[in-house]
Structure 1
Amino acid sequence: MNLSAGQVARRKTEKKLTVDHFSETALDAILRQPNPRTMKGHRNLFYMILMYDTGARNSEILNLSPKDVVADTESPYIIIHGKGKKIRLVPIVKETVQHYKSYMSRFHNGSMDNIPLFYTEIHGNRQPMSDDNVTRFVKKYALQAQNSCPEVPDRVTPHMFRHSRALNLYRKGVPLPLISEWLGHSNLQTTWIYAYADIEMKRNAIEKATVANHPLRNAQKFNAAELDDDTLRRLYGLK
């Protein structure tokens, strides 16, 4: 790029290497908010459970049909239709399978018809649930959960379920290449954000633990450039 006289090139702002997430303690508080005895509460609870367990994008969950859930097997999994029409198989835990079967019994009468797994019903017509609807109930439950759990962030979005699951898996020792494949990332570099985020969290925790009067902060400082040649020779044993 050619610069005119006196013009200074601006440095690009470095991208912040962190992700918005919440802890498993916060997740537990959020999942306690829906009332599963009601239809909406039951649906919303299972939606959040599936979103976290699979680490799938909100759009990928909304595009699921009952046939995409392979539950009656020793190793249950979900068939995710990702970006670029790429398909990946994502394992789910057996507890999620139990929630799935309960949900299917109530919302699909056990049928495996090729209709959206999650839907809204208006005047008897079933329509795919919108991402706006998901955003609304996630926000509502998160605000309610803050009353009992201070770890719940002020702002919780559906995508944070994906980030939080991936980050928690990484912190428990799951290798990044496996997380990358599980998330459906086309490039491993995209997944490195979780490693950077983990380092940043550790740094922040250490900074907070290192109080203002800590010896590391109060250690005497000197500038070697200010020492004369004679003193330097003595310090390094050259005289």
Structure 2
Amino acid sequence: MEIQFLDEFKTFLMTQRGLAETTIKAYEYDLTYYLEWIEKEGLKIEEIGPKDLDRYVQYMRKEKNLEAKTCKRRIAAISTYYKWMVREGKLKNDPVYFIELPKAPSRLPVYLTEEEMEKFQEIFEEEAQKRPIIGARNRALFMLMMFGGLRISEATNIKESQVTVRDGYPVMVTVIGKGNKERQVPLNEDISRALLAWMETKKALKDDDDLARKYTRKTKVELQSEFLFPGRNGMQINEYTVQMKMKDIRKKHFPDKKLTPHKLRHTFATALFRAKVDIKTAQELLGHSSIATTQIYTHVEDEQKREAVMKLGKKKN
């Protein structure tokens, strides 16, 4: 069964909602999964009611053993699709409006501790020494995600024109976030140095045919990419490449940590609260549309309270 009006819906997600290509693909995947169930049940999408959707939720939870969080995400995609269909006059009612979604358990975000952040940084410093070109790129990219809180899609799509340079040093990046919303992210000294080293290396690639071919298998003319972090094809680095790099780091250095590129964003947010940054400023730096999303990182305060209480009653030497 094909998704009705798929191209129109994807255009709406891109132009009206400002969603990234990867997010739109996730919507398409969730809708395809839903339509497969509809076909299996012998139903039609225009005939679906709240009771049918309740059964679909039960199917995901009990037969497929999906977590509540995954179920909520898939229902959210379906809801967006139905609302769009109703708005466009292609459907009369949105059945999702009447169902009760499963409640996902509250979980603290996974993040790197201060010691682990230092270790993570050292890993890329060592790589930059061993592999001057790719290592310099990886160091700048991953430092930007950890010390700037960028999502993987935001980091891989950054262009050189989005980097503000003052007195020869990168000091800020303009990030295009969800919904095409812009935010300014200042760069600390560590990111600035790493980014400067990479930008100088990238310039050398553009000026030297032999170096360009060795790194990208392209000539310097073919390498005139606007993207700050190009992959081997001269275009922006693929998100999958970044994810696989992180997977390799986790396996070698953090085997007990569920470390992904997005966990670096959690690390940045946690570090902000650890540094006593007010929640409104943290919200702006992270690009959260709702302050409620930012509040999940207040777990740092709970951790500090626990440490303070644990110190009570300790005997002094």
TM-score using structure 1 length? 0.70
* Counterpart-to-counterpart distance in 2, 1:11 and 1:85: 28
Deviation at 1:144, TM superposition (A): 2.7
What secondary structure sits across from 2:288 in the alignment?
A: coil
Deviation at 1:158, TM superposition (A): 0.4
What residue identity is the alignment partner of 1:30? F
Point out where structure 2 has 5 or more consecutive residues left out of the alignment. 1-49, 52-99, 207-223
Write the deviation string for residues 93-149 of structure 1: whole angstroms up to 9, x where unpaired: 1332221121111123387x652111112xxx4122111111111222233334xxx
Residue 64 of structure 1 is aligned with which of 133, 137, 158? 158
Deviation at 1:71, TM superposition (A): 2.1
- Residue 115 in structure 1 maps to residue 226 in structure 2: yes
Residue 300 of structure 2 is aligned with which of 189, 198, 202? 198
* Counterpart-to-counterpart distance in 2, 1:22 and 1:53: 12
Residue 183 of structure 2 is aligned with which of 88, 104, 121? 88
Residue 13 of structure 1 is aligned with which of 96, 99, 103? 103
Does structure 1 retain, via aligned residues, the 8 Å contact 2:145–2:264? yes
What residue identity is the alignment partner of 1:55? G
- Provide closer, same or farther for how the CA distance between residues 176 and 75 of structure 1 changes in structure 2, counting only shifts above 3 A: farther
* Counterpart-to-counterpart distance in 1, 2:101 and 2:303: 26
* Residue of structure 2 equivalent to 1:166: 269
Residue 22 of structure 1 is aligned with which of 102, 107, 112? 112
- Whichever of the two has the greater Rg, that structure is 1
* Residue of structure 2 equivalent to 1:232: none
* Counterpart-to-counterpart distance in 2, 1:28 and 1:116: 28
- CA RMSD of the aligned region, Å? 3.1
- Residue 46 in structure 1 maps to residue 140 in structure 2: yes
Q: How does 1:94-133 map to 2 (within 5 A)?
A: 94-109=189-204, 115-121=226-232, 125-133=233-241
* Counterpart-to-counterpart distance in 1, 2:272 and 2:282: 8
* Counterpart-to-counterpart distance in 2, 1:203 and 1:135: 34
What residue identity is the alignment partner of 2:118? D
Deviation at 1:75, TM superposition (A): 8.5
Does structure 2 retain, via aligned residues, the 8 Å contact 1:139–1:155? no
- Provide closer, same or farther for how the CA distance between residues 159 and 11 of structure 1 changes in structure 2, counting only shifts above 3 A: closer
* Counterpart-to-counterpart distance in 1, 2:147 and 2:139: 12
Write the deviation string for residues 42-91 of structure 1: whole angstroms up to 9, x where unpaired: 22111111111211111100110111111225882101011111111111
* Residue of structure 2 equivalent to 1:76: 171
Does structure 2 retain, via aligned residues, the 8 Å contact 1:104–1:110? no
What residue identity is the alignment partner of 1:118? F
* Counterpart-to-counterpart distance in 1, 2:260 and 2:102: 28
Does structure 2 retain, via aligned residues, the 8 Å contact 1:18–1:200? no
Of structures 1 and 2, the one scoring higher in RCO (CA 8 A, sep 6+) is: 1
Deviation at 1:31, TM superposition (A): 2.1
* Residue of structure 2 equivalent to 1:135: 243
Q: Percent identity?
A: 22
- Provide closer, same or farther for how the CA distance between residues 153 and 198 of structure 1 changes in structure 2, counting only shifts above 3 A: farther
What residue identity is the alignment partner of 1:51? M
Deviation at 1:188, TM superposition (A): 0.9
* Counterpart-to-counterpart distance in 1, 2:182 and 2:170: 18
* Counterpart-to-counterpart distance in 1, 2:105 and 2:279: 20
TM-score using structure 2 length? 0.54
Does structure 2 retain, via aligned residues, the 8 Å contact 1:30–1:142? no
* Counterpart-to-counterpart distance in 2, 1:75 and 1:64: 14
What secondary structure sits across from 2:123 in the alignment?
A: coil
